[in-house]
């Protein structure tokens, strides 16, 4: 296939004419290049090769791949067209549709039925469904077969209207036996190929195309029409839901080449010692996961401890662990050993006018818009020609009726003499072509008395003609109107189903002392001095909980001002009956009964503001524990000796205000940048009080909205505050307040 970079359009394109597939191409597809010149190449082999080329062309053109223009495989297209032609607005037996498809397409009836079921809303495979079904028509997340076609029925979904918006604008071609005329493609009003998941294998080729949010796709069309190319990157969204994690680099490859990769993951919730899967990655079934669990022999799952409890409401796959404290361990094994987490390697391969095309999302938009312009131009010209002709007839009738005595004479000629006499007389009156005169005499007699009707009709024709002529001057106007209509009727009903996340389990490795150590995101929990590393956020919410990486450096503060440093690589995930790693012992303290940990975080080069009960403020820079000379796991003098008065810790933000609250509901504030940033063991007095309770850091661009009368709080002593106050809006760093932290000690 010839690969060409289109700099102007910002995408790559690979094309190959299917009809020109050669023996050499076939050898490459089948990896037989090295057999040339050998005894294998006899006359019999050559005969097989020629036959296989014909087979490859048939599969590629008429079986396995979607067309860029309408996004459908031939069998799906013909099913919709048969229903359109039969005007099947009400439920019709699936068996009848399958039989209708066979008139157009030499396909197996069972295969045709299977393709039909995937377009049905209840099946869920198509992100934007085209049919409504009745009966058991299968599910996207299950291998279960649909009921026999004689027991199920289908009808058009309202979305299907968008596939038939300009039927006169497309080419009709002969079917396989030259007995029926069928559309080459349907005139889809949107790039439907980007709104449906596709996964197929052809002869030496395969396609794997993700689906996208309809609104994102229509916005790309608008961008292309406005700028002449696309530049916005859109994220796949699957009908199965779940999670998706991607890098900007891979997403850009998907946009430009169609070959990006990203990680997908199912959605679960924990119910006691049960893990319940409610959403699976696209292309994965519950049965597949069950087989993988059986093969992986995950020890934490009870014997035969998994069951598919899926019902009408959706996926519900339950996995029972041996004990509650093994749930985290089992969940990680499910992510790493089964398809509950799976890499999606996209390859946007499709056909267009008997050409194989591999291109990116932006390339698809480019080709689709250029094709749609041709369709709408052709349709609009035909509509215009029809209107011009109708206007010509109506104008002739109006002109005739305007001539005094003409209407009575023509009525009399038509009723008492011959049509030819009437036609000749009409032509004499208005000097028109014969077809106009023939049209006039076919009017009913009472219409010769209804001048106003035809005058209004002619005026409307003129308006419509002017409108179509304007469209032809800029056909993109029609495409944009299509996008607006589609968004109003379809896109607004579809919100993102696949959540975007940056959490991927063990997807990269780093080398340390020749040993590869997995690195991934995780949660840490400190309770009663014990540190636990967890795969998912604990549901109890007890203790100090924060996110980090498996190799993060962690610091924890004690009520006596000590700092403990813990290296994430030294901590194992919580498994079995483990209660975690006791931090004081880990840090080398022999007698650690006095240690009460009140706050902890990962070292991420952020600065923190320490607020003390007696009105002092200090600062802590976590970067010191990453790049500084301090290597010790324990610092006796970590922060101020007055650490017993520490009441709150908040993330430092430039150009912000710190607002403090006392136990008596008195308030004060100060510009954070006005407080001198000293070493972590030093403090600065800011307020005169002995009972500060809590604090909030609020950016200057938000302070007037969240604390409207904040200027009254710039005092050395906390005062009463009158008015509404929202100290902890979206920018609040910690959910626990100091009272909760100190209570844990």
677 Rama sector, left if φ>0, alpha if ψ -120 to 50, beta otherwise? beta
pLDDT > 90 in the chain, percent: 53
Domain that holds residue 95: 9-208
**The pTM is what?**
0.69
Q: What is the CATH number of the domain that holds 318?
A: 3.30.1360.40
Q: For residues 596 and 180, what is the distance between their CA atoms, to the nearest angstrom?
A: 84
Q: Is there a single domain that holds both residue 548 and residue 616?
A: yes
With 90 as the cut, is the pLDDT of residue 640 above it?
no
pLDDT of 311 strictly over 80: no
Last residue of a domain, one of 339, 369, 387: 339
Position 478 in a domain: no
488 found inside a domain? no
Q: Which residues are designated catalytic?
A: 151
Q: How many structural domains is the chain composed of?
A: 3
Domain for residue 711, yes or no?
Answer: yes
Band the pLDDT of 643: cuts 50, 70, 90: confident
At which of 295, 315, 339 does a domain end? Answer: 339
Any idea which of 318-332, 422-436, 531-545 has the lowest mean pLDDT? 531-545
pLDDT of the residue at 653: 92
| Residues 532, 643 within the same domain | yes
Question: What is the model's pLDDT at position 675?
Answer: 93
Task: Please identify which residue in the block is written with the tokens 């509950």.
Answer: 340
Whole-angstrom distance, CA of residue 126 vs CA of residue 259: 21
202 plus 272 within the same structural domain = no
For tokens 């009080």, name the residue.
689
Contact 657, 703 (CB under 8 A): yes
> Is 222 contained in some domain?
no
CB 585 within 8 A of CB 529: no
Tens of pLDDT, residue by residue over 212-221, are 999 999 999 9
Q: Are both 704 and 598 inside the same structural domain? A: yes
DSSP annotation of 133: E
- Given a contact cutoff of 8 angstroms between Cβ atoms, the answer to whether 121 and 157 are in contact is yes
Query: Could you give the C-alpha distances from 113 to 98, 144, 566, 621, 741, in angstroms and in order?
Result: 6, 14, 60, 65, 62
The pLDDT score that the predictor gives to residue 195 is 95
For residues 200 and 281, membership in a common domain is answered with: no
Question: Are 361 and 350 in contact, with CB atoms under 8 Å apart?
Answer: no
216 inside domain: no
Clarify whether residues 174 and 277 are in a common domain.
no
* 192 domain-assigned: yes
Q: What is the pLDDT averaged over residues 651-679?
A: 93
Q: Alpha-carbon distance 551 to 516, whole Å? A: 12
CATH of the domain at 65: 3.90.199.10
> Per-residue pLDDT tens for 115-168?
899 999 988 889 999 999 999 998 888 888 899 999 999 999 999 999 999 999
- Integer Cα distance of 731 and 516 in angstroms: 37
Q: Quick one: 58 and 153 in the same domain?
A: yes
Please tell me the distance from the alpha carbon of residue 228 to that of residue 220, in angstroms, as a whole number: 11
Q: Tokens standing for 18?
A: 């299917």
Residue 241 lies in a domain: no
Is there a single domain that holds both residue 519 and residue 649? yes
Are 38 and 386 in contact, with CB atoms under 8 Å apart? Answer: no
Instruction: With cut-offs at 50, 70 and 90, classify the pLDDT of residue 478.
Output: very high
Please indicate, yes or no, whether residues 697 and 551 belong to a single structural domain of this protein: yes
Question: Do 123 and 271 fall into the same domain?
Answer: no
CA 576 to chain centre: 37
pLDDT given at position 25: 65
Fill in the DSSP letter of residue 686: -
What is the average pLDDT score of the chain?
86
Residues 159 and 271 in one domain: no
């Amino acid at each position: 296939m010839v690969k060409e970079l289109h700099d102007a359009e910002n995408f790559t394109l690979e094309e190959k004419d299917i009809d020109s597939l050669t023996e050499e191409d076939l050898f490459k597809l089948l990896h037989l290049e090295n057999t040339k010149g050998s005894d294998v190449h006899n006359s019999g082999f050559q005969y097989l090769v020629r036959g296989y080329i014909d087979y490859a062309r048939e599969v590629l053109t008429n079986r396995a791949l979607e067309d860029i223009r309408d996004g459908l495989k031939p069998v799906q297209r013909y099913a919709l067209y048969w229903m359109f032609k039969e005007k099947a607005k009400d439920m019709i037996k699936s068996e009848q549709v399958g039989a209708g498809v066979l008139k157009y397409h030499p396909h197996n009836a069972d295969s045709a039925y299977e393709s039909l079921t995937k377009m049905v809303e209840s099946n869920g495979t198509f992100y934007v469904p085209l049919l409504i079904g009745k009966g058991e028509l299968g599910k996207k997340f299950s291998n279960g077969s649909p009921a026999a076609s004689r027991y199920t029925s289908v009808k058009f979904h309202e979305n299907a209207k968008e596939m038939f918006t300009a039927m006169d604008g497309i080419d009709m071609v002969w079917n396989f036996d030259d007995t029926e005329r069928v559309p080459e493609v349907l005139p889809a009003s949107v790039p439907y190929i980007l709104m449906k998941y596709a996964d197929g294998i052809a002869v030496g080729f395969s396609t794997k195309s993700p689906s996208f949010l309809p609104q994102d796709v229509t916005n790309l069309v608008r961008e292309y029409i406005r700028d002449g190319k696309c530049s916005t990157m859109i994220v796949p969204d699957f009908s199965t839901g779940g999670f998706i994690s991607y890098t900007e680099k891979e997403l850009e490859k998907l946009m430009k080449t169609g070959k990006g990769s990203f990680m997908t993951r199912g959605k679960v919730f924990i119910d006691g010692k049960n893990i319940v899967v409610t959403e699976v990655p696209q292309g994965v079934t519950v049965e597949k996961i069950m087989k993988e669990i059986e093969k992986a022999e995950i020890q934490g799952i009870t014997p035969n401890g998994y069951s598919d409890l899926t019902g009408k409401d959706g996926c519900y796959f339950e996995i029972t662990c041996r004990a509650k404290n093994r749930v985290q361990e089992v969940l990680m094994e499910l992510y790493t050993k089964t398809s509950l987490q799976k890499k999606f390697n996209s390859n946007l391969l499709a056909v267009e006018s008997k050409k194989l095309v591999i291109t990116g999302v932006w390339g698809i938009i480019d080709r689709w818009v250029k094709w749609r312009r041709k369709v709408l131009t052709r349709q609009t010209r035909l509509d215009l020609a029809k209107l011009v002709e109708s206007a010509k007839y109506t104008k002739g009738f109006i002109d005739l009726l305007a001539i005094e005595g003409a209407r009575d004479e023509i009525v009399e000629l038509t009723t008492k003499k011959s049509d030819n006499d009437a036609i000749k007389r009409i032509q004499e009156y208005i000097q028109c072509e014969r077809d106009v005169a023939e049209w006039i005499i076919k009017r009913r007699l009472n219409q010769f008395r209804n001048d106003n009707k035809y005058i209004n009709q002619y005026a409307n024709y003129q308006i419509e003609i002017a409108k179509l002529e304007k469209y032809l001057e800029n056909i993109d106007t029609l495409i944009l109107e299509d996008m607006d209509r589609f968004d109003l009727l379809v896109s607004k009903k579809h919100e993102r189903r696949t959540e975007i996340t940056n959490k991927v389990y063990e997807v990269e490795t780093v080398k340390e002392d020749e040993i590869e150590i997995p690195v991934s995101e995780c949660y840490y929990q400190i309770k009663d001095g014990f540190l636990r590393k967890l795969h998912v956020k604990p549901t109890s919410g007890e203790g100090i909980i924060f996110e980090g990486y498996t190799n993060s450096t962690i610091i924890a503060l004690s009520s006596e001002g000590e700092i403990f440093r813990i290296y994430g690589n030294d901590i194992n995930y919580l498994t079995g009956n483990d209660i975690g790693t006791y931090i004081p012992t880990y840090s080398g303290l022999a007698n650690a009964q006095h240690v009460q940990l009140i706050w902890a975080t990962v070292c991420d080069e952020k600065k923190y503001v320490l607020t003390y009960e007696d009105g002092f403020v200090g600062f802590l820079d976590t970067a010191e524990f990453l790049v500084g000379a301090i290597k010790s796991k324990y610092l006796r003098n970590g922060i101020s000796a007055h650490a017993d008065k520490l009441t709150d810790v908040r993330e430092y933000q430039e150009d912000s205000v710190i607002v403090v609250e006392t136990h008596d509901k008195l308030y004060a504030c100060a510009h954070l940048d006005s407080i001198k940033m000293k070493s972590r063991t030093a403090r600065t007095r800011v307020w005169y009080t002995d009972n500060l309770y809590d604090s909030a850091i609020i950016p200057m661009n938000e302070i007037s909205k969240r604390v409207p009368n904040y200027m009254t709080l710039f005092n050395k002593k906390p005062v009463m505050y009158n008015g509404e106050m929202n100290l902890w809006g979206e920018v609040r760093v910690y959910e626990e307040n100091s009272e909760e932290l100190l209570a844990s000690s």
